Amino acid sequence: MPEINQLFFSEKVEKAIDKSKRHIVNFETNSEYAGFFLNTGDSSEIIWLIGSSELGVNTDATPYNFINEIFKTKLKAVGHEGNQSFSIYSMLLANAGELENTPVIILVSPGWFYNKSEKGTSSPVFIEFNPKHFIDCIANNDSDSEYRLYEAKRLSEMFDEFSNPTIAMKKLYFESISVSNSISGFFSYPIIKYFDAAFAFDHNKIKKRNLSRNSIISENIIINWDSLYRISSEEHIKNCNNNWGIEFEYYNTYAHGTKSIIRTVDDSDNKEFEDFVMLVKLLKEKKCNASFIVQPINPYYYENASDLNSMIDKVDSVITQNKFPCLNMWNSDSLTYDKCLLKDVMHLSSYGWYKIDKFIIDTYKLVK
């Protein structure tokens, strides 16, 4: 009875959207932006930059500041620490109808692929970026069965970690069980049908959005990159008291001249890479105007950085084989590594961000 439902299950009133917001940290504490995710702008396109902890480095050179201050076409960033491939995959799958021609940049951190992060996105971070109606949308989407089943498989692997799984999560969990073998499928079938009925009752409807997109505006703007690189690199060097290219505050607090070891697993056991492959496949099939940036780590601090070479080569290969533009900044050789790229051991300096700004501007033709 709609009247009873309205009495006990009133809809949550969303906060107004601040369209000038440049960095959406997550959708759990910024729920009003979940429905805005992947939208186009009012008069020009929006470029979406998705990544993890590096997006918290808020400087004049960070793309959501540099590009937004100069160009009519705006850039919005989504992410914080731990927002890895499966979380991003799920966010995009829930909004698959918006992906065609949408400019999306994936900022790939090498840190996703080692030191236990290779197990994939953690369940708490997943929840932060995938609110209830995102999972509802995936569970109710029959047109993308391959991608929905991968979502179901990965959710089933972390299902016990969710304290209060939604009906849609339960439905996907039993779907994953049902395809594991025929016996499981036989016993899971009535449970899935039960959740189908419950889901139809509970389903939080997604507002249908206009799929037409605005164009990226190309402007007559001259940027003196050589000057920006020189000034930012000189400033970075001033802030370093060591030969590793690490700013003194971080070096004095954390590094102290002590090197670190990367703990890797066999590439075939790297769950994060499996998630990444599916992410790229989804972007390719949905004809997304996607590009990728592979960040570096500091090979002076990580003495066995080369142990990650084969994995980064595979990441780069998946991107290039699918013909997506890619800025690969990876370099495990301390003899040729550019010490000005990072402010610490894995987060970009202003100099590093300017390199990325140029890649974005060139790739999406913001300048005529």
What pLDDT sits at residue 200?
Answer: 54
What pLDDT sits at residue 6?
Answer: 56
Task: Characterize the bridge pairing of strands 103-108 and 289-294.
Answer: parallel
- Pick the closest to residue 147 from 267, 281, 55, 248 (CA basis): 281
Residue 181 counted as domain residue: no
- Can you tell me the distance from the alpha carbon of 281 to that of 144, in angstroms, rounded to the nearest whole number? 12
Please count the structural domains in the chain. Answer: 1
Torsion on CA atoms 321, 80, 47, 353, rounded to nearest 10: -80
Contact assessment for residue 318 and residue 274, using Cβ atoms and an 8 Å cutoff: no
- Can you tell me the distance from the alpha carbon of 189 to that of 253, in angstroms, rounded to the nearest whole number? 56
For the stretch 55-82, what's the b/e string if a residue is b when 16 or more beta carbons lie within 10 angstroms of its beta carbon?
bebeeebbbbbbbbeebebbbbbbbbeb
Mapping DSSP to helix (H, G, I), strand (E, B) and coil, where does residue 210 land? coil
Q: Which range marks the domain in which residue 108 is found?
A: 2-140+203-363
DSSP 341-353: SBSSSSSB-HHHH
Q: Across the strands, what pairs with 265?
A: none
Whose tokens are 């918290």? That residue is: 56
Residue 193 counted as domain residue: no
Whose tokens are 């402010």? That residue is: 343
Residue 339 counted as domain residue: yes
Strands (E), the chain: 23-24, 46-50, 74-78, 103-108, 289-294, 326-328
What pLDDT sits at residue 206?
Answer: 46
Could you tell me how far CA 244 lies from the centroid of its own chain? 29
Mapping DSSP to helix (H, G, I), strand (E, B) and coil, where does residue 75 land? strand
Hey, CA dihedral for 134, 137, 140, 146, is it positive or negative? negative
Contacts of residue 23, Cβ cutoff 8 Å, sequence gap at least 6: 55, 58, 64, 76, 77, 78
**Could you tell me if residue 153 is left (phi over 0), alpha (psi between -120 and 50 degrees) or otherwise beta?**
alpha
CA distances, 223 to each of 160, 219, 228, 325, 357 (Å): 52, 11, 9, 21, 11
Residue 54 counted as domain residue: yes
Residue 195 counted as domain residue: no
How many CB atoms within 10 Å of residue 14? 12
Domain CATH number, residue 268: 3.40.50.1110
- Can you tell me the distance from the alpha carbon of 181 to that of 179, in angstroms, rounded to the nearest whole number? 6
Strand 326-328: give its sheet, edge to edge.
23-24, 74-78, 46-50, 103-108, 289-294, 326-328
Overall residue count recorded for the chain in this entry? 368
- Can you tell me the distance from the alpha carbon of 356 to that of 361, in angstroms, rounded to the nearest whole number? 9
Residue 323 counted as domain residue: yes
- Tens-digit pLDDT string for the chain (368 aa): 555 555 555 555 556 788 889 999 999 999 999 989 999 988 889 999 999 999 999 999 999 999 999 999 999 999 999 999 999 999 999 999 999 999 999 999 999 999 999 999 999 999 999 999 899 889 887 667 899 999 999 999 999 999 888 888 988 998 888 776 555 554 555 655 555 555 554 444 444 454 688 999 999 999 999 999 999 999 999 999 899 999 999 999 998 889 999 999 999 999 999 999 999 999 999 999 999 999 999 999 999 999 999 999 999 999 999 999 999 999 999 999 999 999 999 999 999 999 999 999 999 999 99
Hey, CA dihedral for 178, 184, 185, 189, is it positive or negative? negative
Residue 68 counted as domain residue: yes
Contact assessment for residue 296 and residue 329, using Cβ atoms and an 8 Å cutoff: yes
Residue 274 counted as domain residue: yes
What is the reported pTM? 0.90
DSSP 269-334: G-HHHHHHHHHHHHHHHTTBEEEEEEPP--TTTBTTGGGGHHHHHHHHHHHHHTT--EEE-----T
